[in-house]
Structure 1
Amino acid sequence: MFGIYLKRELGRRKKAALVIALGLALGIALVITVNSVSAGMTQAQDKVLKSLYGLGTDMTVTKARTAPTSGSSGGPNFKFDAKSSSSSTQSSDRVQTQGGQALKSSLVTKVAGQKGVASAVGALSLNVTKVDGSFTQGKAKSSTSGSSTSGSSSQGQPGGGSSGSGGAPQVQGGGANFNVNSYSVVGVDVAHQGLGPLSTMKITTGRTFTSAQTSAKVAVVSKSYAKQKKYKVGSTFKISGTKFTVIGIASPDSSESDTDVFVPLKVAQTLGDAKNQVTTIYVKATDSKQISAVKKEITANISGTTVTTSADLASTVSGSLSTASSLATSVGKWLSIAVLAAAFLVAALLTSSAVSRRVREFGTLKALGWPSRNVTRQVVGESMVNGLIGGALGIALGVGAAYAVTAVSPKLTAQLGNTGGGGAGGGPGGGGPGQQASQNTLEIALSAPVSLTTIALAVGLAVTGGLIAGAMGGWRASRMRPADALRSVS
């Protein structure tokens, strides 16, 4: 009886049912779209952060550099020991640790032993400034006067000279022609490459390090640097007189890498005169939900260090990605809530209005013996069907809008600032060669993935909308008396 009556009444009031369903559908579609775009923003930011941190890295431990001592400028300097011969090319490398102050390698083990830490690995970030070229020695030439006439002076003599005297020798020609090449080198723990700076790179040519190559003079170079220097697998180059062989060329997973050359950690420590030292400790937590607690644990037990999490690093991301993410999080969600609330209210008012027009019908049913609960159940059932129809339409519209965003894939830019520590490869507190302060701009394609959670949320909203509308209409219908039906008869 209930199902037959429900089907008949919905068929008689198609327009009213469609209006209620469409109102709910628009609200639900907006919620799905906003949630999907927000999820896409989160994925885009994760790509940016992973390109800096390293896949699986939850936080980094660094130490800020100490202030320059009194009497020292603290600025950059370069000592060049020129050779006496002017015929040969002269070259010299300056290798310095970059980023924050160096940490003892033993701290890696200490960090790994903290509560909530799954693993930790150290890396050493170096900056190499290479100067090569040659000096050209000038030639001394004497200038003599062409006349001994009194009052005449030789041209080109310093101070004019005196008549009839030989000119002072002058140096002509000479100079220097040098090229300056600055690039970054990161020493990685070859036994734990799944965590740290190299984990963001994908080997495109050749191979990566083996666990036995802890002291080998081999290197993996970034694709962009290899193209610039015309390196390929098997090429060789020197750093401070040490010859390295390129065994692999790697490209970053989601952005341009700030690291040009990767070498084994022990070799990097020798190059940078930093034995048993690292500049960054990469940390992976046992539970991604306990990162804040792990940060507090490390900060409390290892004094003088700076612990940077992905949440801290996210605050340095700016550009259109950050702006769009803020809009989707704040304006978009509040707008969807407002539209959804309005849709629920309209559905409730329309249902209540429809009940008012059915006074004779419900009054007659009560006169025939229908209890109030049956009348209420009837109204709620109709509203639930309207809600489910609206939910189905809303899911279709929302999924369609999300797929349209994914198909268009609008480009968003992310500008990555410097966090002021000492990470490698532009990571937390990283920066490029020479502790650069400029920002690195990345371009990210936006997608809007629709998850099962979002679909479940939409179904829940559809049911909620139907219940709200049905509750208001059912409450009004339950208050009707059989006498109301008689008064409505003309």
Structure 2
Amino acid sequence: MFFTYLRRELRRRRKAALVVASGLALGIALVIVVSSVSSGMGKAQEKVLQSLYGLGTDMTVTKAMETSEEGGERPERPRFSFDARAEGSGEEQSTDHVLVQGFQSLADSTVDKVGEQSGVADAVGGLSLQVVKVSGEFTRGRFQQDGQGGQDGGQGGPGGAEPSEGGRVQGGGADFDVNSYSVYGTDVTEPELGPLTSSRITDGRTFKASETDAKVAVVDSAHAKEKELETGDTVTVKGTKFKIIGIATAESGDAAADLYLPLKQAQTLADAKDKVTTIYVRATDSQQIDSVKSAIQKNVSGTTVTTSADLADTVSGSLSTASSLATGVGTWLSVAVLVTAFLVAGLLTSSAVSRRVREFGTLKALGWNSGRVTGQVVGEAVVHGLMGGVLGIALGLAGAYAVTAISPTLQAELGGGAGGSGGGPVGGPVGGPGREAAAKTLEVALTAPVGLTTVALAVGLAVAGGLVAGAFGGWRASRLRPADALRRVA
């Protein structure tokens, strides 16, 4: 009897049912679109952080910032020395200076100490370096006496004598080129942790666990293209030749470094034996990252711990703006539309009950109690809500698909100061490869994935909307008395 009456009443009031369902559908569709876009923002942010941290990394540990007081010891700055030869003018000279990023490093014993902390699943150290290469040549000048043609003499050039009275030196000088690139020393025995894991080997191979002190290198694809390097070639750093065994391509954003070397080789190049700049940490439980961070800060002195959440807070640019709109304005707009849709659905249902006074009064006169009449009204409202849910899910999926199809490009900028320790060399960033990528602008494509949780939320909202509308109408229907119907019939 319930379902028969329900089906008949829904057929009779198709227009009213469509109005109620449409209002709920708009609110539900907006919730789906906002939720899916917010999820897309999260995934875009994960891509940015992944390019900084590496896969599986929950936090990094770097040396705490040291404030240099006036008169205190200051870090050594790069110095370049060249011979000013009297003979051999025009001979090219070059020198490499290998600097630890940020001039801050930790003892590699700190890696073991961090790994012993409660909640730490794995910890691995790495050394981030900046190589500054200066190359060029001196050109000897030509001494010319007043009123006479120039004559080669060895004067005025590097190492030459002072010009005599009545003459001058023309030409000569120096032409030097300064080139810098980043090098990262990776622990080849821990291939699953560190910034190299955010890149994919597109040619050759990665390091073997046995190559802890081998003269081999993996080159980032962008750097390889710029320098015209291929697998099998060699690169020279500070007079040491390394064989390129692989080309790595960053999965998202910029690569962590231009060149990757075994950690021991990087330490030798930088005269930083048993030193690391960054410790990459994986927690046993992603829900306990904050407690692991606190434990490391408490038990490992002189360090700064930076989690992915800390870096996420530094994200700016259009990605941050869009994320704020989706999570802030979008969420409140969705709530406002939903509340409005629920209220409209309830008022329309209540209004429909007022027009059905005769019907419900007659049913009560025939023996229907208030609970049965209320249940009938609530049942109709829930069906309206489910209809709105189906329509809203369809509209929401269409909106999310449109966003994914368009895939607008967003820019993400990350400040290099999070957990840093001062400025790096040659304007470089601090704390390892992650800090270097953080100083650059990354572009990510926005998608709007719709998960089962979002669909389940939409169904729940549809049922909730029907119940709210039914509550309005049911309350109104429960107050009707058979005498009202008889009075209106008369």
State the TM-score, normalizing by the size of structure 2.
0.91
How well do the aligned residues superpose, as a CA RMSD in angstroms? 2.4
| Structure 1: runs of 5 or more not aligned | 147-165
Q: 2:127 touches 2:432 (CA, 8 Å); kept in 1?
A: no
The offset of 1:167, in angstroms, is: 4.2
Summarize deviations over 1:159-194 as a string: whole Å, max 9, x none. xxxxxxx94453332211111111110000001121
Query: What per-residue deviation string (whole Å, max 9, x for no partner) do you get for residues 112-158 of structure 1?
Result: 11111111100000010001111122233444699xxxxxxxxxxxx
Counterpart selection for 1:337 from 318, 335, 355: 335
Give the aligned partner of residue 151 of structure 1. none
State the Cα deviation string for residues 297-330 of structure 1 (Å, max 9, x = none).
1111111110001111012211110000001001
Shift of 1:431: 7.4
Closer/same/farther in 2, CA of residues 437 and 469 from structure 1, 3 Å limit: closer
Deviates more, 1:31-40 or 1:92-101: 92-101
Decide whether aligned partners of structure 1 residues 39 and 238 sit closer, same or farther in structure 2, where only a CA change above 3 A counts.
same
**What CA distance in whole angstroms lies between the structure 1 residues aligned with 2:320 and 2:260?**
31
Mapping of residues 99-114 of structure 1, within 5 Å:
99=102, 101-114=104-117
Q: Post-superposition shift, 1:235?
A: 1.2
Match of residue 454 from structure 2? 454
Match in the other structure for 1:293: 291
Map 1:88-487 to 2 at 5 A. Answer: 88-99=91-102, 101-143=104-146, 167-421=165-419, 429-430=430-431, 439-487=439-487
CA contact (8 A) 1:100 1:421 kept: no
Instruction: Pick closer, same or farther for the CA change 1:436–1:446 going to 2, 3 Å.
Output: closer
Identity across matched positions, percent? 63
Bigger CA drift: 171-180 or 476-485? 171-180
Alpha-carbon deviation of 1:69? 5.9
Paired residue secondary structure (1:412): strand
Q: Given that residues 314 and 418 in structure 2 are in contact (C-alpha distance below 8 angstroms), is that contact kept between their aligned partners in structure 1? A: no
3-state secondary structure, aligned to 1:82? coil
Give the CA deviation at 1:68.
Answer: 4.1
Q: Report the CA distance shift for 1:43/1:328 in structure 2 as closer, same or farther (over 3 A).
A: same
The 3 A distance-change label for structure 1 pair 314 and 194 is: same
Instruction: Tell me the CA shift for residue 438 of structure 1.
Output: 8.9
Name the residue aligned to 1:156: none
Q: Distance in 2 between matches of 1:437 and 1:36?
A: 28
Cα 1:189–1:376 change in 2 (3 A) is: same
In structure 1, distance between residues paired with 2:433 and 2:146? 52
**Equivalent AA in structure 1 for residue 480 of structure 2:** M
Contact 1:20 1:386 in 2 (8 A): yes
Q: Which runs of 4+ in 1 moved over 6 A?
A: 435-438
Q: Is the 8 A contact 2:429 2:439 kept in 1?
A: no
CA contact (8 A) 1:141 1:171 kept: yes
What secondary structure sits across from 2:489 in the alignment?
A: coil
CA distance in 1, matches of 2:471, 2:428: 55
Residues 90, 213 of structure 1: alpha-carbon distance in 2 compared, 3 angstrom cutoff: same
1:5 maps to 5
Instruction: Determine the C-alpha separation between the residues in 2 that align with 1:354 and 1:311.
Output: 51
> Would the alpha carbon gap of residues 64 and 171 (structure 1) be closer, same or farther in structure 2, given more than 3 Å must change?
farther
Return the letter of the residue paired with 2:254: E
Does the CA-based 8 Å contact 1:420-1:429 persist in structure 2? no
Q: Tell me the secondary structure at the aligned position of residue 281 of structure 1.
A: strand
| Aligned partner letter, 2:80 | K
SS in 2 for 1:99: helix
Tell me the equivalent position of 2:79.
Answer: 78
Q: What's the secondary structure of 2:102's corresponding residue?
A: coil
Verify the 8 A CA contact 1:280 1:422 in the aligned structure 2: no
Native 8 Å contact 1:144 1:167 kept in 2: no
Change (3 A) 1:458 1:144: closer
Residue type at the aligned position of 2:483: A
Quickly say closer, same or farther: Cα 1:270–1:288, change in 2 above 3 A.
same
How far apart are the structure 2 equivalents of 1:322 and 1:363? 58
State the distance in 1 between where 2:420 and 2:311 align: 13
Corresponding residue SS for 2:203: strand
Distance in 1 (CA, whole Å) between partners of 2:436 and 2:43 is: 27
Q: Deviations for 1:72-100, whole angstroms, at most 9, x for unmatched residues?
A: 67584423132634343211111110036
Count how many residue pairs are aligned between Structure 1 and Structure 2: 469
The code of the aligned residue for 1:136 comes to T
Q: CA deviation at 1:363?
A: 0.6
The one-letter amino acid of 1:81's match is F
The verdict on how the C-alpha distance between 1:438 and 1:347 changes in structure 2, with shifts beyond 3 A counting, is closer
Instruction: Please report the TM-score for the alignment, with normalisation by the length of structure 1.
Output: 0.91
Match for residue 157 of structure 1?
none
C-alpha offsets along residues 25-58 of structure 1, whole Å, 9 cap, x if unaligned? 1111111110000000000000001111111111
